[in-house]
Every structure is written in C-alpha cells, then in structure tokens.
Amino acid sequence: MMSESTFRSAFPQWCLSSSVDQITFSYRPLAWATDRDAIIATFFNGGRTGFSTGDPSRLMEELALVRPSSFGGPPSIWNKIYTEFKTALSLITVSHSPEVIETEEQHLLQQFSKLIPNRCKTICISGAKASPVILNFMKRCFTHCMVIESYGISECGSVTCDNDVGNALQYRLESVPDMGYTLDDKPFPRGELLVKTPHMFSGYINNPEETHTALTEDGFFRTGDVVELRTCHNVVSSLHVIDRKKNFFKLSQGQFISPEFLEGIYIQSPFIHQIYIHGDLLADSVTAVIVLNQAYAQAFSLNHNLTSLDMNNPDPLFYDALLQDLRSIAEKESLRKHEIPSRIIIDFQPFTSENGLLTSSMKPCRYKLAAHYANRLKTTSNIIEQQLKTIIETATGQSMSTDKEDNLFLANGGDSLSAVRLSRMLENDLGMSIPLNILFDPKMTLQQLTTLIQDPSQLSSLSQSLVPQLLNDADLDLNITTVGKRKITSDCPSMVFITGTTGFVGAFLLAELLTVYRGECKFICLVRCSSSTKALDRIREAMLFYQIWKDDYQDRIIALQGDLAKNCFGLDNETYESLAREIDVIFHCGASVNFVLPYSQLYGSNVCGTREIIRFATHMPSACIPIQYISTMSVLSPDVENEISIEETSPDRLISGYAQSKWVAEKLIVKASRCGVPVVIYRLGLICGDSRSGACNQNDLYTLLFDAMMKMGCYPETALHAGVNGLPVDFTVKSIVNLSTVQSDVYGNVYHVVNPNGEIGFEDVIYAMQSCGVEMKSVCGEEWRIKVKAVADENSRFESVREFLFDSAFRERCKVSTTEFSSAIGRLDFPSVDKSYAFKWMSFILDNIVHK
C-alpha cells in the first residue's frame, strides 16, 4: 500500500526535462514499480511507450521494433544474451588459433551489440544483482550505451545507482551472524540493509503480520539484502549488495550458501543456458540443475561422437566434461569445496514464466523449481537415517539401537534439555522444525522420523489440535462418591498432607506452615526419590538452599517416598488408609513445572497426580479432607483478566504442555468441588525472591535471565523500558496459609496470587547488579541475540530458554484482576519491591547461582 502523498512525492523526479525523445519499452507487469514508474515518467515528459505482447520468446524482436531511448532488464535477460555470446564464441574456439579467436571475439561483440538499438543510450541492470562476469561483458559489448546498475525496492523506491547512496537515503546495517556477516567485519562492515526513503510504502494490504516483520519500530524497511559498506578515507563511498538473506540455505556441516552468487558464477560455462543451485541440508555440497545450451551441447556431442543426449542417463563423457568445466570455473573464482556441485541434474526444458519456473519479472521462482525437480533432487532414505541417528545420539548423549523400528529415546523418558537440543539440531542441520510432542510420541521411531524429514507435509496430520483430548481428559471419571460434609478442623490441625516440598514455592509453604501451626502438628510430605531414606534429605537440601531450614523442623516432618502419578501415590494399603483417616487438610503444591515438555509428558504428574489427590481426599466415606490447591495463572488465555472459574475458560489458546496439563488439573479440582469436596484455588503469577534474603527459584525463567545477564555483563537496550511484575515468595505463602487458617468462607473461591502494586523496573534490577559489583553495559538487540546464543551454546542451563532470553522476557505483560485476593488478605501489608529488594534478589543470584 502506498499513500497518495508518497506517490505524489515522486512527481518531481519524473518530470525532469530532457532534450532526448523519450521512448519506453514496457514488457513487465505494471505491478512492478520499475515499469509502472517509467511509463508515468514517459507520459509526463510527452514521450511514447511501446507495450510487449507478453511473449518472452519475442522480447528481443520487439525491443528492436520499439527502439527505446533506454532499456532496463533483470540479470536473467543479460545472462541469456551472454550465454548466446559465449556459445557462439565456444564453437569458434574448437577449430581456430588464439589470434583468430581474439579477432572473432571482437566481431561477435559487434554483432551482439546490435541487439540493443542505437537509439538506446542507457541500459540498466535492475531487479537483482548481476555477476561481475555479466557486467564486464555488457560494458565490452554495448559500448554505445551507458551501463548502470540500479538497486531499488517496490516497498521504498530507489536505493542506489551504481552503488552510490545519494543524499536522501536514510539507512543502517544489522549483523546477520548466522550467515557470517557482522558490522565488525574487515575491511568493511557487512550486514542486512535497513532503509528509510521519501517513497516508503504504508504496509502490505490485509497482512499486518508481514508488515510488522518488514518494518522496524522506527520505520526502517528490512530489505533482506546483505550489503558491504565500502568507505574511502573515512568517507562513505558505496553500498554493494553481496548476498540475499532470504535465499540462503545451509548444508550438512553448517556452511551457508548463497545460490544467486553461485549461479552468477557458473553461468560462464558454455554448457549452461540456465542454472538453479539447490542446497540439501543432508548433503555436504550443492547440487546444480542445468538447462543445457543445446547448440553447444550438440556441437560437443558431434565432436566426441556421442550418439544422443539423455537427460536422465547422460553419457559419462558428457557428464564428466560438464562437471569438470564447473570445477575449472570454481577454481578460477576461488570457490570453496562445498560450493562446487557434487551432483548435476540435466534438463532441456528452459525455465520460463509460462511453466512457472520464472516469476513474471523473470527471476528464478525457487520454491517452484525445488518442487518441479523434487523427485530428482531427493536424497536417499539411508543417508537421512544415518544423519538423524547421529543427531539424536549427539543431542541425547545415548547410543541408539540399530533397529529402525525401536522407539526414539525421548519417548522412553527423555528430558526436556535433550528434547530442546534435538529439536534445535534438527532445525539447524536438516531445516525441519519438529514439534516436541511428535518427538515425544511413544510410537515415534527412527524410520517414521526419516519419513517426516523426507515428506514434511505429513506433519500437518500429526500436529493435530490437543483441545479435544484436553476436554476429554478434563471429564475423567474421578471414581468418587458425592460427599456432603468435610472434616471439621480447628485453626491448628494435627496432621497436614503437603506435596511439592522439594520445589521453590512448596519449600517456603512448608516453612510457613511449620511456623504458623503449633508444635504438635505433623507434616506428611510426599517426595519422589529413589529410597525412603532420601526423602527427608531432599527436603532439607532444598530448604538449605533457600536459607529457610531449621534443625528442629525434622522432628515435625514425616517424609514419605511416593509418586503423585501412581495409584495411591505408590504407598502400601496400610499407610494409605492410616493417612486418609488422620490427615486434616491437604496442600497440593506438587507439579512438574516445565515449559518445554509436551502435554503427554506432564499428564502423569500434573493431571493424574491431581486426580489421586482428589481420590485421597474422598477416600474415607465419613468425611472428605479440604484441599488447598496451588494452580497457576498459565491456565488462563492472554485475554482473560478476572478471577473466574476454570469452567468459563477454554484451552484453545494454551500453548505449553504445562499450561494445558494444569488447565485439565484445575478442571478436575472444580469437578470435585461440585461433588462437595471443599477446595480453594490459588493461581500463582510470577513468584520472586524472598523479601528477607532474596532467595529465589534457580530454575525460574527470570532467574535464568538475570544469571545470563550477569555472566555476559550486558543487557539489551530495550530492557530499560520493561519490568517484572512479581510477588515475593514469603508473602505468597503467608497469604495462602492465612487464607487457609483464618477465613471460614474461602472454600469454592479462586484467588489470583499476583502483585497488584505495580512492578519492579529492569532499570532497578540493572542498578542492583551494578551495586553487587557486576559491570553492566547496554547493547543493541542484534548484539544481545548474538551474546545469548553464545552463552546458551556454552552452558546447557540456558539452552531450553533461549527464545525467552532473546525477546519474551522484555515484552509487556497483560494486567490481571486481583480483586478477590487483595480483598481477602486486606489486613496483610504487601511488601515493597524496591531497589533494596532488588539488591537482595540479585545478591542471592550472584552468590548462589552465578558463581556456583
């Protein structure tokens, strides 16, 4: 889309007076800005325009008829002219001496110069970069014309002419580290070109997402072109397009390839009429699809007594000669080994706009070329299987069975870090983004994964929505009878059942309960561990880390080895029955908190575990045990703000397996509540460090962020405008215990345990880091991403949260209602999350995490 004012701003440059009779030849679609603007300028200046019939085969004939005063064309046109010239010259070289060849070459140049009529005084290369070979040929051949290279973009008009920037252009470069281009490159900085011109477009119609991607916040357009900014004596002299960000691909060893660059070099071969360079992520070098120059190919065949040319089974002599010619060109141009085709596919059918292999502006249509030659380009299954096997063994650190029908390691208990590493390696090395739920599918085998890599279209059938399954699981039969009464307990119960005490919130919750309840009260803590003797050790270890352990706690803690996901928690019948009779209240804080693993991997602990808690609470027919249920704000879609029942929400927009599993679990809790089980639901938001010591969850996303920032000694410049809306963990558990003991009417309520009093700004967090003696500096977004990638590659602790560190941490969060929560705990004073608090928090991270 272009505004009228922007369109009108180009009028002055279109109305430049000229003594030359202006004649334009229009042969490209008028949606293409170059031809459209040329026609308007010609009209304004009283000139004439000749229109092509649209038949590409008649282009040169029509050019001679119209005889324009200037002519512009994409590299494909000049490549074709050069190919014809090269073929004619090659046929001469077969039977003449060098002296004759030189004379004949000059004669040929004169003949070919007539393709551009004498009235044409300017010819322009536009639409894409031409290779130096083609540019040199044009200047030698069309000596009656001025040859210029024009670089412009439909979205923002002219950018450079003969690489000259001009005065009106605003521009900057951004590093493209994946391709090896950075602003620190020597002798000249290199990176993607971002521009702002007087002729900027307003956006892509009905496509706000693409518009947002294309434009920066300050209005610069991302061209997708990689340029080199050349200077002379510290004065900017020129911008040189050296690569195309959107067209590059990666080979198996990780080298990046620019196909347009290679195509521009290999077009020198007399064998070649057209060429398409293809990259296979499973191969260690490129493949070339070559449309033969039939005149030269036939002459070669005659000279070597070859009977016929078969594109599927070419004569070895012909194939080797073609391959050797490409290698000779590669050696002359100093190409690297992986840039030399190891495989050639031969065709006689040219790429044209009619068959869809060229665009309407005569550029290679790469995705159609890849599809057209897909069967001939296909890599064998054995190669893919071996590549996959190597990647999986590297990612998981375990050897795979030689049986291709065996399940993948991840389906048999793989961890989230291995899953993230494997997913990233598959994307980086094979170009395939495989959802984690597919990698964790218990039926997934190496052979099936190989088939997916070969045919990605099958992903759509496997990546089906989980919503039907979530709804079905939320309707699980609880196997409980409707109960009409609950256990009557005083404010000081004699026995409490609590889960999740080795985790962050659970450990602090246990400490608060031990403080509030009288000394006779015992705490049954269910702990998943390898032996019963280690259960208490795990609790003690966690509380020591959080600096809340007291030796007299162990006399009141009864740590039981068990598993939430197992029937009756994996306890023997006698123990289970005894607990069901004696427990007065349940605090269910246990869950697998993992934002990487898919729903299927969290179903056991989070869904089945909650169901087991409900069954335990209702096991005794006389009365049921009240449940204080710790949920999460993650169960709500981003647009939900109020403290509403889970029954009023939908899982449609829940993305992570953790959020999905907790949504189903909360649905089960509400279902139990309808059956008469007394339940209180606490949805926790971001829980931060202890306001007294700064002790925090070492695996929390923000802890990882601050850890990474202090390790790198920097922060992104955008961080200063962001903040963290968190609630100190000690106040969080104090609120929960207060509501569970003091309030008589809390059952059935839902509370958003979130800080309603604003947030702590990143500016204060960074100041706290500096106060701790850590030198911190601001870096641009691109440099931040480079540094995060480096620290994640070096430290597996950050690997699974790389995307969060890149950008998500600094996005503005939606505000949620805390009306019910704030009203219920009105007599408690919310702690101040100020600079003093930030200092304690950062000090704990620095001393106990960064330096460990």
Residue 356 lies in a domain: yes
Please check whether residues 408 and 373 belong to one and the same domain.
Answer: no
Residue 375 has what pLDDT? 82
Question: What share of the chain in percent tops pLDDT 70?
Answer: 89
- Look up the CATH number of the domain holding residue 312: 3.30.300.30
Pairwise pLDDT comparison (15 vs 723), residue with the higher score: 723
pLDDT band for 643, please (50, 70, 90 cuts): confident
pLDDT digit string (tens) for 669-681? 999 998 889 999 9
Please check whether residues 355 and 311 belong to one and the same domain.
Answer: yes
Please check whether residues 351 and 338 belong to one and the same domain.
Answer: yes
Our measurement of the distance from residue 255's CA atom to the centroid of its chain's CA atoms, rounded to an integer in Å, reads 19
pLDDT band for 627, please (50, 70, 90 cuts): very high
Question: CA nearest 812: which of 638, 654, 658, 663?
Answer: 638
Region 493-508 average pLDDT = 95
Residue 381 has what pLDDT? 57
Residue 264 lies in a domain: yes
pLDDT digit string (tens) for 568-607? 999 999 999 999 999 999 999 999 988 878 888 899 999 9
Pairwise CA distance, residues 184 & 228, whole Å: 11
Q: Where does a domain end: 440, 464, 488?
A: 464
pLDDT digit string (tens) for 76-123? 788 888 888 888 887 776 656 667 777 888 999 999 999 999 999 999
User: Contact 68/35 with Cβ under 8 angstroms?
Assistant: no
Residue 378 has what pLDDT? 73
Cα-Cα-Cα-Cα dihedral sign, residues 300, 304, 305, 311: negative
Pairwise CA distance, residues 81 & 76, whole Å: 9
- Mean pLDDT is lowest, of 226-235, 563-572, 658-667, 838-847, for 226-235
Amino acid in position 222: R
**CA distance readout (Å), 43 to 8, 14, 47, 50, 845:** 15, 9, 6, 12, 70
Please check whether residues 366 and 394 belong to one and the same domain.
Answer: no
Pairwise CA distance, residues 80 & 70, whole Å: 19
Pairwise CA distance, residues 554 & 544, whole Å: 13
Region 637-658 average pLDDT = 86
Average pLDDT of every residue of the chain: 85
Residue 412 has what pLDDT? 47
Q: Which residues contact 601 (CB under 8 A, 6 or more apart)?
A: 440, 592, 594, 657
Q: Is residue 276 pLDDT above 60, yes or no?
A: yes
Amino acid in position 494: S
Please check whether residues 346 and 422 belong to one and the same domain.
Answer: no
**CA distance readout (Å), 571 to 558, 612, 615, 626:** 14, 12, 14, 21
Residue 290 has what pLDDT? 94
Q: Where does a domain end: 354, 377, 400?
A: 377
Burial class (CB in 10 A: 0-12, 13-18, 19+), 177: middle
Residue 487 lies in a domain: no
Q: Is residue 414 pLDDT above 70, yes or no?
A: no
Residue 204 lies in a domain: no
Please check whether residues 351 and 460 belong to one and the same domain.
Answer: no
- Mean pLDDT is lowest, of 298-302, 372-376, 443-447, 648-652, for 443-447
Residue 353 has what pLDDT? 83
For residue 727, report the phi and psi dihedrals to the nearest 5 degrees: -120, 125
Our measurement of the distance from residue 279's CA atom to the centroid of its chain's CA atoms, rounded to an integer in Å, reads 21
Residue 361 has what pLDDT? 67
- Rounded to 10°, the helix 259-266/316-332 angle is 110
Q: Where does a domain end: 362, 377, 392?
A: 377
Q: Is residue 174 pLDDT above 70, yes or no?
A: yes
Please check whether residues 319 and 294 belong to one and the same domain.
Answer: yes
Residue 71 lies in a domain: no
DSSP collapsed to 3 states, 798-816 = HHHHHHHHHCHHHCCCCCC
- Rounded to 10°, the helix 132-141/75-93 angle is 70
Angle at 47 (CA atoms; ends 46, 53), nearest 5 degrees: 140
Residue 65 has what pLDDT? 95
- Mean pLDDT is lowest, of 400-404, 453-457, 753-757, for 400-404
Number of domains in the chain: 2
Residue 346 lies in a domain: yes
- The reply to whether the predicted model has a pTM over 0.85 is no
Please check whether residues 253 and 370 belong to one and the same domain.
Answer: yes
Please check whether residues 262 and 329 belong to one and the same domain.
Answer: yes
User: Contact 222/214 with Cβ under 8 angstroms?
Assistant: yes
- For residue 346, the enclosing domain spans 249-377
pLDDT digit string (tens) for 680-708? 999 999 999 999 999 999 988 889 999 99
Question: CA nearest 434: which of 410, 453, 417?
Answer: 453
Pairwise CA distance, residues 84 & 206, whole Å: 44
Q: Is residue 405 pLDDT above 60, yes or no?
A: no
Please check whether residues 342 and 418 belong to one and the same domain.
Answer: no
Indicate left, alpha or beta for 431 from its phi (over 0: left) and psi (-120 to 50: alpha). left
Question: What share of the chain in percent tops pLDDT 90?
Answer: 37
Q: Is residue 217 pLDDT above 80, yes or no?
A: yes
Region 650-666 average pLDDT = 91
pLDDT digit string (tens) for 427-439? 766 666 777 777 7
Residue 537 lies in a domain: no
Residue 276 lies in a domain: yes
Q: Is residue 363 pLDDT above 80, yes or no?
A: no
Residue 574 has what pLDDT? 94
**What counts of helices (H) and strands (E) characterise the chain?**
32, 28
User: Contact 488/578 with Cβ under 8 angstroms?
Assistant: no
Q: Is residue 760 pLDDT above 90, yes or no?
A: no
- Look up the CATH number of the domain holding residue 392: 1.10.1200.10
- Rounded to 10°, the helix 762-771/835-845 angle is 60
Region 645-665 average pLDDT = 91
Give the 3-state secondary structure of residue 690. Answer: coil
pLDDT band for 459, please (50, 70, 90 cuts): low
Please check whether residues 253 and 368 belong to one and the same domain.
Answer: yes
Please check whether residues 404 and 365 belong to one and the same domain.
Answer: no
Q: Is residue 413 pLDDT above 50, yes or no?
A: no
pLDDT digit string (tens) for 123-132? 998 877 777 8
pLDDT digit string (tens) for 467-486? 899 999 998 888 777 655 66
Residue 684 has what pLDDT? 94
Q: Is residue 298 pLDDT above 50, yes or no?
A: yes
